[in-house]
Amino acid sequence: MAVQLFDKRFVVMAGKGGVGKSTMAAATAISASRRGLRVLVVELGGKEKVANLLGYQGNVGYTPTQVRPNIDVINVQPEPALAEYGLMKLRFERLYRAVFENSLVKSLTRMIPGMNELVLIGKAWHLEQETIDGKPRWDMLIIDAPATGHGVSLLVLPHVILEAVQSGPLASETRLIRDLLIDRKRTIMNIVTLPEEMPVNEALDLRKQMETTLRIQPGVLFVNRIWPQTITKHDIALLEYTKSAHTNTAEVLSNGRFFGRRTTTQQRHIDRLRQECDLPMVRVENQFRASFDMTAIECIADQIDASPFLC
Ligand SMILES: Nc1ncnc2c1ncn2[C@@H]1O[C@H](COP(=O)(O)OP(=O)(O)OP(=O)(O)O)[C@@H](O)[C@H]1O
Ligand SMILES: [Mg+2]
């Protein structure tokens, strides 16, 4: 089953904490830029990471910044997003300061549940709308969502608000965001996971939520950090056989056994994903490198390019 990822404008990466969402966002950005697309990676509410993974020195902050040809990155945090929204609504900076920098209003906005999430996803929507000379500024926005629980609450929020409020300015603005999220022409959501117990459980749970609560179009399942099957049972048997004759074989054998156990366990989780998750799988190998940098990301982009499912 082919997944048309590279013709979508709003590509969400979701998954448990630490599984490689930012890594997949960075590698997918490279893959898309190789196809001639202008990409913006939007880091939502998390630590700034993607620009550095793409070889950029320093911070990009709340301004779309070019980090490579055809790739811009922005880190969206609630405070500047709220300030920008306030300015947009109140127009005059002095009036804005009088209202939003008032400590009572500040603590009130902090108390309104979901306010921070709404401005984050609202900013992502706003970036999708940006044009230059009447044409969209970017062809593809890659949304690096926060780790699962928070990421889902962010994506489900527009649905929740619209159930509670059907008219007025809040409803009409939220409707625009909701319509982007459920638009199958523009939006797709990928799940990132590791071949390990907890990340697999969360990935399967996330897959269910895509249908039930999010109503978002499912993309692919990135299974990250897969160890290569370089040592076979036959290799182990051969080492066992020669163990007595060569002194250093024992150490090689123990490393080989460890490697073998690890790949067997990973395979068990991959088999479970194949049985219980209907999304096409993109396999990403673990990078055995001293530093996880741009070269590693390029290598992962090569694997994305080689995937038979993505077009
Ligand atoms: N394919 C890989 N090979 C080797 N190491 C990897 C690979 N993918 C990710 N890593 C390692 O895992 C770390 C976490 O990855 P990443 O920051 O992309 O995860 P994340 O899901 O975005 O985390 P968070 O939930 O904290 O935002 C990376 O810094 C890197 O060291
Ligand atoms: Mg991240």
* Gyration radius of the chain over CA positions: 22
49 lines ligand 1 (CB under 6 A): yes
Residue nearest to atom 29 of ligand 1 (CA): 292
pLDDT at 90 exceeding the cut of 80: no
pLDDT at 243 exceeding the cut of 80: no
Q: How confident is the model at residue 85 (pLDDT cuts 50, 70, 90)?
A: confident
Mean pLDDT of 125-149: 93
Q: How confident is the model at residue 252 (pLDDT cuts 50, 70, 90)?
A: confident
The pLDDT value given to residue 181: 97
Distance CA 42, CA 161 (A): 23
220 lines ligand 1 (CB under 6 A): no
CA–centroid distance, residue 171 to ligand 1 (Å):
37
Over residues 105-117, the pLDDT tens digits come to 666 566 566 777 8
Which CATH superfamily is 10-227+278-306 part of? Answer: P-loop containing nucleotide triphosphate hydrolases (3.40.50.300)
Higher-pLDDT residue of 306 and 99 is 306
pLDDT at 149 exceeding the cut of 80: no
- In three-state secondary structure terms, 104 is helix
CA–centroid distance, residue 25 to ligand 2 (Å):
9
Instruction: Work out the burial of residue 108: count CB atoms within 10 Å of its CB; fewer than 13 is exposed, 13-18 middle, 19 or more buried.
Output: exposed
The structural domains of the chain, with segments of one domain joined by +, span: 10-227+278-306
Q: Lowest mean pLDDT: which of 55-69, 96-110, 207-221?
A: 96-110
Structure tokens at 124: 């992502």
The pLDDT value given to residue 275: 98
